[in-house]
Amino acid sequence: MHLIPILLALFLLPGTWANTEKVIFHAGSSSHDVPMSHYTSKTPLPTHPTILTLGTSGLVSLPPQVLSTSPYQVVARWFAIRGLDPEATYEARVSYPASSPTDFTLHALPASDKDSSNHWLYLEAIHTGVRPPVGIIPSDNHTASVLFTLAVEKLILYHSIPRMALSLTMTLIPCLLLTFFFAIPALTRLLSRWVPSTAYHLE
């Protein structure tokens, strides 16, 4: 009987992205083990980048994006993050379905040493699908489309918990209390009227 609310919640929840990769960075930190030139040498900074601007909610996300790549070929993209709090810590994460076998990596880099409210986010993806035979260069019909979403969120409570996760937890707690103390007893009483009492006894 106690499995009913769990099964109901799984049924009602919308589809989710099975895999997630993330990087946690402090907006005010300007020291990095790998210089920015290491990434720009592979993929130059775009003239008109996709911009993610954080508002008062501390969360910004992009609608689903598509990367076209070949198996085991590296694809990289830059994103500009604006409106960061220099005193805060953030989590950038990329989520993608399990049906797209891809290795994602994220790197957050300050746009300049003087302005810590703006960062660059470097995303690199390697599709790990079927590898073509040795000596054969993948043609256009070997390309794969990788769907992903990208989000940047402020961390709270000692820079450890995403802000929206705390809000979701505070919302779920009353729902769980109502379920266990009111919904389950009411459902039990309703079922007891439908099922003959003899069904509960073995003769």
What are the distances in angstroms from CA 10 to CA 13, 174, 187?
5, 18, 18
Q: What digits encode the pLDDT tens for the residues 51-80?
A: 999 877 788 888 888 888 777 788 899 999
Q: Which residues contact 31 (CB under 8 A, 6 or more apart)?
A: none
> Could you give the percent of the chain with pLDDT greater than 90?
15
Cα 110–chain centre separation = 21
Q: Token pair of 48, please?
A: 């008109």
pLDDT of residue 93: 92
Say if residue 12's pLDDT is above 50: no
Instruction: Report, as an integer, the average pLDDT of 13-22.
Output: 66
Say if residue 106's pLDDT is above 90: yes
Mean pLDDT over the full length of the chain: 75
Cβ proximity of 155 and 88 under 8 Å: yes
Instruction: Report, as an integer, the average pLDDT of 186-196.
Output: 74
Say if residue 89's pLDDT is above 50: yes
Q: Closest Cα to residue 74, out of 115, 26, 114, 122?
A: 122
Delimit the domains of the chain by residue range. 16-131+138-159, 165-191
Instruction: Report, as an integer, the average pLDDT of 103-129.
Output: 86
Tell me the residue type at 11: F
Say if residue 170's pLDDT is above 80: no
DSSP string over 146-187 = EEEEEEEEEEETTTTEEHHHHHHHHHHHHHHHHIIIIIHHHH
